Amino acid sequence: MKVMKFGGTSVGKPERMQQVIDLVTAESESKIVVLSALSGTTNALIEISQLLSLGYKVPAKQKIDELEATYRNFIEKLLETRRAKEDAGIIIAEHFDFLNIILRISYSESLNKDILAQGELLSTKLFCVALTERHISHRFLSALDFMCIDENEEPRLERIQRRLQVIMKEFPEETLFVTQGYICRNVREEVDNLKRGGSDYTASLIAAVIDASVCEIWTDIDGMHNNDPRVVDKTMAIEILSFEEAAELAYFGAKILHPTCIWPTQQKNVPVRLLNTMQPKAVGTTIQQTAGSVGVKAIAAKDEIIAIKIKSSRMLLAHGFLRKIFEVFEKYKTSIDMVTTSEVAVAVTIDNDARLKEIMIELEQFGSVEILKNQTIVSIVGNEIAKTEHVLTTLFNAIKSIPITMVNYGGSAHNISLLIPSEYKKETLQLLNKGLFNL
**Residues making contact with Mg ion (CB under 5 A):** 7, 197
Q: How far is CA 323 from the centre of its chain?
A: 31
Q: Contact with ligand ASP (CB under 6 A): which of 119, 259, 284, 382?
A: 119
Residue 284 as a binder of ligand ADP (CB under 6 A): the answer is: no
Residue, CB closest to ligand ADP: 7
Cβ-based neighbours of 340, under 8 Å, separated by 6 or more: 346, 347, 406, 407, 408
Q: How many residues bind ligand ASP (CB under 6 A)?
A: 12
| 36 versus 379: smaller Cβ distance to ligand ASP | 36
Give whichever of 60 and 256 is closer to ligand ADP, judged by the CB atom: 256
In the complex, what is the shortest distance from the CB of residue 119 to ligand ADP, in angstroms, rounded to a whole number?
Answer: 11
When asked if residue 155 is in the footprint of ligand ASP (CB under 6 A), the reply is: no
Residue 224 contact partner, candidates Mg ion, ligand ASP, ligand ADP, none, CB within 5 to 8 A by sort of partner:
ligand ADP
The yes or no reply on residue 230 touching ligand ADP (CB under 6 A) is yes
Distance CA 250, CA 219 (A): 15
Strand partners, 371: 308
Spell out, one character per residue from 179 to 198, where the chain touches ligand ADP: x when CB under 6 A holds, - when not.
Answer: ------------------x-
Cβ neighbours, 10 Å, residue 30: 16
* Contact call for residue 260 and ligand ASP (CB under 6 A): no
Of these, 224, 296, 363, 399, which contacts ligand ADP (CB under 6 A)? 224
Cβ-based neighbours of 84, under 8 Å, separated by 6 or more: 129, 130, 132, 133
Alpha-carbon gap, residue 73 to 167, rounded angstroms: 34
With a CB cutoff of 8 Å and minimum separation 6, the contacts of 336 are: 326, 329, 348, 349, 350
Among 6, 127, 182, 424, binds ligand ASP (CB under 6 A): 182
The verdict on 41 binding ligand ADP (CB under 6 A) reads no
Residue 67 C-beta: closest distance to ligand ASP, Å: 13
CB of 366 to ligand ADP, least distance (A): 37
Contact yes or no for 395/436 (Cβ under 8 A)? yes
- Among 13, 85, 255, 311, contact with ligand ADP (rule: CB under 6 A): 255
Q: Is 256 in the site for ligand ADP (CB under 6 A)?
A: yes
- 221 is a contact residue toward ligand ADP (CB under 6 A): yes
The DSSP call for residue 270 is -
Under the criterion CB under 6 A, does residue 68 sit at the interface with ligand ADP? no
What is the total count of residues that contact ligand ADP (CB under 6 A)? 18
> What does the alpha-carbon distance between residue 169 and residue 174 come to, in Å, rounded to a whole number?
10
Rg of the chain (C-alpha set): 24
Query: Collapsing DSSP states into helix, strand and coil, what is residue 279?
Result: coil
Which residues inside 4-43 make contact with ligand ASP, applying CB under 6 A?
7-8, 36-37, 42
**DSSP H helical ranges for 79-171:** 82-102, 109-133, 157-169
In the sheet that holds 336-341, the strands lie side by side as 336-341, 345-350, 295-311, 368-383, 415-421, 406-412
- E strands within 124-260? 139-141, 176-180, 183-185, 191-193, 215-219, 240-242
The residue range among 49-57, 195-203, 320-328, 371-379 that interacts with ligand ASP, by the rule CB under 6 A, is: 195-203
Contact region for ligand ADP (CB under 6 A) — 129-137, 140-148, 206-214, 227-235? 227-235
CB of 420 to Mg ion, least distance (A): 25
Count the Cβ atoms, other than its own, within 10 Å of residue 333.
Answer: 10
Positions in 286-345 near ligand ADP (CB under 6 A): 300
Q: What are the residues binding ligand ASP (CB under 6 A)?
A: 7-8, 36-37, 42, 119, 181-182, 196-199
Q: What are the residues binding ligand ADP (CB under 6 A)?
A: 7-10, 36, 197, 219-221, 224-225, 228-230, 254-256, 300
